[in-house]
């Protein structure tokens, strides 16, 4: 059995903890959380109790007794935890964003590239985006032409997120673009291939220095496709996290307004079709209450994929997305911040390996 050290026991650590416990109890993975660590010891103890695990007072001792590090600290804590895990030769699941600065993201990529790892850009495991990517890759709707992505969320220092670090640029690296829309940038490159340049404008409506609450991006892709991304943190408390993705191809408009199961809508000259994107059948073996079912499924699926890869491929295991896909999204985000700082001047992107369209899922 793989022993998992859960490092960082706040909001997303709790979601992962719950999803992993469900997978273990349903016999769907040969793995279990056995140690926890958080500088806020009460959090580490609370999650350890869910698993009959041991809460540790030090990062090092939690990792010493594990095979896999599940890193869910706030963003600025990822580097230290990755370094400590790699020093112990552990497999690593690292939450997104990789780190607050592009330099630190590149360091994490260098540390993880040749080791078993996966990054928490979980939209790669959402059935609706898999259906979206595969519909585009099939070519049945003609060439992609232009994409419109909108991502909005209430400013996540309140409500169910309740995390003050998201208004601290040293801990978060920025606002809505790096913290939330790093997911969207990854999906854009998954569906459309590598981006080559970006222009951006940002705003700090709520006055937290370095924490943009609006980011408007115009992205050009190697294929010639263009895309716009609007990312916003507002104060509409009924909207915790909402996305709408539209893509015009030569012969169809494709769109979805749900970032897990869809449906994927397809309109062609022949009419409108709803493509259902079902979750895997094993999800029915989880027993989460209805109110948590979507969140648990969203995180159980990437977690199971990584743990299965570790069991089948051992040291050769590379989850999806890997650190180069994540780094590629970070390069777009970093170029967007540079563009915004230069009054919207276009910024070219380095050629990287992370943006191949329709990379394999799971
Ligand atoms: N993949 C996703 O969909 C998703 C969703 C939400 C958050 N996240 C990411 O997960 C990370 C955590 O976000 P959150 O919402 O859980 O924040 P949070 O504030 O709820 O929890 C963060 C926890 O990390 C702990 N921590 C800080 N430094 C640490 C260290 N060095 N070692 C161990 N623990 C440490 C804090 O005490 C806190 O308990 C962030 O990087 C965030 O962007 C990802």
Same domain, 154 and 263: yes
Task: Report the phi/psi class of residue 256: left, alpha or beta, with left for phi > 0 and alpha for psi in -120 to 50.
Answer: beta
**Of 83, 103, 122, which residue constitutes the final position of a domain?**
122
Kindly report the protein residue whose alpha carbon is nearest to atom 21 of ligand 1.
10
Q: Are residues 324 and 225 in the same domain?
A: yes
| Of 88, 122, 156, the domain-final residue | 122
> Which atom number of ligand 1 is nearest to the Cα of residue 77?
31
Q: Give domain status of residue 311, yes or no.
A: no
Number of domains in the chain: 2
Using a 6 Å cutoff on CB, does residue 128 contact ligand 1?
Answer: no
**Residue in this structure with the two tokens 């903890």, named with its chain if needed:** 17
Q: In 3-state terms, what secondary structure has residue 198? A: strand
Same domain, 114 and 128: no
pLDDT tens, residue by residue, 47-92: 999 999 999 999 999 999 999 999 999 999 999 999 999 999 999 9
> Do residue 70 and residue 163 come from a single domain?
no
**Pair (115, 128) in one structural domain:** no
Residue 361 lies in a domain: no
Amino acid 19: pLDDT = 96
Considering the domain architecture, whether residues 81 and 156 belong to the same structural domain is answered as no
67 and 196 inside one domain:
no
Task: Single out the residue in 53, 88, 122 at which a domain terminates.
Answer: 122
Q: List the structure tokens of 272.
A: 């409108």
225 and 266 together in one domain: yes
Cβ of 118 closer than 6 Å to ligand 1, yes or no, is no
The answer to whether residue 167 sits within a structural domain is yes
Q: How far apart are alpha carbons 87 and 152 in whole angstroms? A: 38
The alpha carbon of 251 and the centre of ligand 1 are apart by a number of angstroms equal to 42
pLDDT at 84 (0 to 100): 98
Distance between CA 271 and CA 255 in Å, rounded?
Answer: 14
Contact between 108 and 98 (Cβ < 8 Å): yes
* CA atoms of 261 and 259, how far apart (whole Å): 6
Q: Give the per-residue pLDDT at 290.
A: 84
User: Which domain CATH number covers 18?
Assistant: 3.40.50.720
Pairing of strands 68-71, 91-94: parallel
Ligand 1 in contact with 327 (CB < 6 A)? no
pLDDT digits (tens, 9 = 90+) for 28-53: 999 999 999 999 999 999 999 999 99
CA distance 139 to 144: 9
Residue 222 resides in a domain: yes
Examine residue 83 and state whether it is found in any structural domain, yes or no: yes
Asked whether residue 241 falls in the same domain as residue 326, the answer is yes
Contact criterion met (CB below 8 Å) for 35 and 2: no
Q: Is the CB of 10 under 6 A from ligand 1?
A: yes
List, run by run, the mean pLDDT of 10-residue segments along the chain (362 residues).
Answer: 98 96 96 98 97 97 98 98 98 98 98 98 97 97 98 96 94 98 98 98 98 98 98 97 97 97 97 94 90 89 98 96 98 98 96 48 26
Do both 193 and 342 map to the same domain? yes
Question: Would the CB of 7 count as within 6 Å of ligand 1?
Answer: yes
CATH number at residue 201: 3.30.360.10
Cα of 330 vs centre of ligand 1, distance in Å, is: 18
Cα(51) to centroid of ligand 1, in Å? 19
Nearest in space to 112 (alpha carbons), one of 125, 130, 99: 99
Residues 188 and 333 in one domain: yes
Q: Is residue 39 part of a domain?
A: yes
Residue ranges making up the domain that contains 146 = 123-280+320-348
Same domain as 152, residue 59: no
pLDDT of residue 90: 98
């Amino acid at each position: 059995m793989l022993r998992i050290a859960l490092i960082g026991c706040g909001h997303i650590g709790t979601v992962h903890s719950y999803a992993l416990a469900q997978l273990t109890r349903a016999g769907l993975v040969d793995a279990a959380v056995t140690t926890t660590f958080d500088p806020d010891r009460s959090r580490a103890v609370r999650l350890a109790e869910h698993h009959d695990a041991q809460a540790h007072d030090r990062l090092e001792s939690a990792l010493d007794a594990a095979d896999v590090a599940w890193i869910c600290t706030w963003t600025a804590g990822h580097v230290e935890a990755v370094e400590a895990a790699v020093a112990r030769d552990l497999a690593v699941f690292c939450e997104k964003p990789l780190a607050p600065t592009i330099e630190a993201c590149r360091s994490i990529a260098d540390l993880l590239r040749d080791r078993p790892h996966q990054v928490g850009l979980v939209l790669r495991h959402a059935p609706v985006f898999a259906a979206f990517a595969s519909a585009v890759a099939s070519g049945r709707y003609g060439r992609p032409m232009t994409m419109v992505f909108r991502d909005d969320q209430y400013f996540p220092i309140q409500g169910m997120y309740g995390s003050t670090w998201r208004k601290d640029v040293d801990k978060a690296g920025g606002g809505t673009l790096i913290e939330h829309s790093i997911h969207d940038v990854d999906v854009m490159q998954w569906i459309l291939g590598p981006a080559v340049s970006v222009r951006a404008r940002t705003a700090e409506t709520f006055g937290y220095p370095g924490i943009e609450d609006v980011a408007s991006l115009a992205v050009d892709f190697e294929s010639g496709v263009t895309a716009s991304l609007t990312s916003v943190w507002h104060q509409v408390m009924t909207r915790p996290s909402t996305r709408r993705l539209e893509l015009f191809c030569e012969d169809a408009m494709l769109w979805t307004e749900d970032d897990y199961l869809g449906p994927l809508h397809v309109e062609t000259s022949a009419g409108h079709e709803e493509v259902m994107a079902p979750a895997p059948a094993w999800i029915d073996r989880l027993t989460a209450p209805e109110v948590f079912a979507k969140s648990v499924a969203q995180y159980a699926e990437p977690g199971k994929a990584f743990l299965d890869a570790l069991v089948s491929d051992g040291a050769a295991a590379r989850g999806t997305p890997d650190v180069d896909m994540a780094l590629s999204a970070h390069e777009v985000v970093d170029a967007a911040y540079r563009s915004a700082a230069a009054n919207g001047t276009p910024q070219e992107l380095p050629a990287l390996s992370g943006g191949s369209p329709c990379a394999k899922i799971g």
